[in-house]
Amino acid sequence: MIRFTKRCYKSRIGLMRLLGRGLLLTLIGLLHYGSVVKQPVFAQSEPGALVITHHESIPNPVFGSALRVAASCKAVSTPCPWERATTWLGNAIPTAESKVIVDGNVQINDEHAIAHSIGIYPGGQLRFNPLAATQLQSGDLVVFAGGRLVVGSEQQPIAPDQRAEIIFRDLPFENDPKQHLRGLVVVDGLLQVHGQPLTETF
């Protein structure tokens, strides 16, 4: 099972249900997946403080952060564990206050990954271990051009006896007057989501 939820105690509620045939925005429910891939349009240099799209200017929630992936975890085929200190510059695992730049190959393997905000930069890949119960809590999760978020792949979807969960934390909006953030934003990056096939989508 794959689940995206928004923890919100105010008026804004965001919860997505992704069905086998498409994406449906709902107020309550679970997120079950068949197979969905959003292809990137183009790669870009490292994002600045604002990311300009065809429609909006979106603030970069991790701009200027020093918390990045260690050099030993870049351009590698085997992802480095999120939960291992040596994966990160400064030799420290991200905390609830961390603004994390994923610019290497990282995998979440347990249910304890947390951050304030996450930006997946060009050359970065954040994966969920398809053979383990995994959970990520973050206020923002932004996939920039050249970045990848992989929640199960076509070759290895999330196992039927496991689950991958992303919880969007209810945090105050900072430098975001139009409230674009506090959720999943894919800005010409790549999003792959593969769970077990469903016989009925609703």
Task: Tell me whether residue 108 is in a domain.
Answer: yes
Task: Tell me whether residue 126 is in a domain.
Answer: yes
> Domain tally for the chain?
1
Confidence (pLDDT) at 41: 45
- According to DSSP, the β-strands at 50-52 and 57-59 are antiparallel
Listed residue (201, 112, 116, 198) closest to 157, CA to CA = 198
**How many other CB atoms are there within 10 angstroms of residue 47's CB atom?**
22
Task: Tell me whether residue 71 is in a domain.
Answer: yes
Confidence (pLDDT) at 28: 24
Task: Tell me whether residue 201 is in a domain.
Answer: no
Task: Tell me whether residue 174 is in a domain.
Answer: yes
Write out the residue range of the structural domain in which residue 13 sits: 2-194
Confidence (pLDDT) at 85: 98
Task: Tell me whether residue 52 is in a domain.
Answer: yes
Which residue(s) pair with 26 in the sheet? 15
Task: Classify residue 170 by its DSSP letter.
Answer: -
> Alpha-carbon distance 170 to 2, whole Å?
20
Confidence (pLDDT) at 9: 36
163: number of CA atoms within 13 Å, CB side?
A: 13
> Alpha-carbon distance 4 to 100, whole Å?
19
Task: Tell me whether residue 202 is in a domain.
Answer: no
Q: Would you say 139 and 61 are in contact if contact means Cβ atoms under 8 Å apart?
A: yes
Confidence (pLDDT) at 29: 25
Task: Tell me whether residue 87 is in a domain.
Answer: yes
Q: Is the pTM of this model over 0.95?
A: no
Listed residue (145, 140, 137) closest to 165, CA to CA = 137
Please report, in tens digits, the pLDDT of each residue of the chain (202 residues total): 555 555 443 333 333 333 332 332 222 223 333 444 444 444 557 899 988 877 788 889 999 999 999 999 998 999 999 999 999 999 999 999 999 999 999 999 999 999 999 999 999 999 999 999 999 999 999 999 999 999 999 999 999 999 999 999 988 877 666 677 788 999 889 999 999 877 776 6
Confidence (pLDDT) at 200: 72
Confidence (pLDDT) at 30: 30
Confidence (pLDDT) at 196: 82
Confidence (pLDDT) at 182: 83
